[in-house]
Amino acid sequence: MIDSYLSTVDASWPTTIANLASRIHPVDRDATRIWFSLYPLVLHERNAATRDRQAFEVFYQLRGAYQLSVAVHTSHRFLYGHRYWPLARRSAIDATPQATLEETILSVARQIEAPEALGIGMAAIALMTLRQAPNELRDAGPPTSPAAEDTPEAWLTRRAKDANAGWLGRFSGKAHGPRIIFNEADPAAAFALHPTQDITMAASEDKRPYHLTDPRCFEDMGPIPVECRSGSCGTCWIGVLGGNENLSVVTPYERKRMEYLGYWDAGFEDPQGERPLIRLACQTQASGSASIVIPSWCGVFGPTRREREPGKA
């Protein structure tokens, strides 16, 4: 019943998440929007309709794990609320549709043993996951790792201190200068930054072997996949969790490229915003620390490309 209901409310998601934003805890407010941008329904629908997966991936230049179905239990690890995933998953599967999508999300959130402000984002994510990957969601998946014993307020404080840190700032008891953090749960998941450097250039100075775990990465080029460095390919897109105020405003060129690439097409990003949550790392200069999410895939699926898809009206 819930599955058939979700297939009727696709157009309601962006407005619903915007309406609920003020009720989501600040630790996960932007993260929730980022998650929805990482798994756009428009791409899922095109993928579900294709008869030739290889041709589909070539046409949209898709690389990496772009299907939510392969990351059902891990896609939201960058949210503080990830620790509530087992309950969110179960509550979504057992959900009873309400009069509106917003009321349905709130109903699921109330079934999660967590403060409502922390449950709303995970409830919405669980329902969207049920929409895109119902069979995989019903598979319990691997055991969930124990959550770190910190509060959302402590998480936010740590994020803010790091974003405001100067060359003598401290994180986890170690002095550091400005840096880009790409996994808030791992103190080692960061690379140094020279102020006004673009993020991909800073990443390239991190020589750890990321290419061994992400085939999109090149050896000695850091954790952010990159190809052209000119904003043309779209490989280096990122989500900005914290420190957005330390990043350059989006330029007309970057805005034009994002429109072509399709990364804002999910409807959860303000295309006129000065500092969007979804950016191209090679076009974004940082004057101070920031916390980011590196998507597990990249491609080109904007409206211009979709209109030319073979066999589509």
Cross-strand bridge partners of residue 291: 181, 242
Inform me whether the pLDDT recorded for 171 exceeds 60. Answer: no
Question: How confident is residue 169, by pLDDT bands cut at 50, 70 and 90?
Answer: very low
The three-class DSSP label of residue 238 is strand
Q: What is the pTM of this model?
A: 0.94
% residues pLDDT > 90 (the chain): 83
Please tell me the class of the 152-304 domain: alpha beta
Burial status of residue 78 (CB atoms within 10 A of its CB: 0-12, 13-18, 19 or more): buried
Burial status of residue 192 (CB atoms within 10 A of its CB: 0-12, 13-18, 19 or more): middle
Q: Would you kindly state where each structural domain of the chain is located, as residue ranges? A: 2-138, 152-304
In the predicted model, what is the mean pLDDT of residues 293-313? 90
Which pLDDT tens digit goes with each residue over 206-232? 999 999 999 999 999 999 999 988 889
In terms of pLDDT, which residue wins out, 148 or 92? 92
Which pLDDT tens digit goes with each residue over 153-163? 999 988 888 77
Q: Which two tokens stand for residue 124?
A: 């919405």
Inform me whether the pLDDT recorded for 107 exceeds 90. Answer: yes
pLDDT at site 203: 96
Question: How confident is residue 168, by pLDDT bands cut at 50, 70 and 90?
Answer: very low
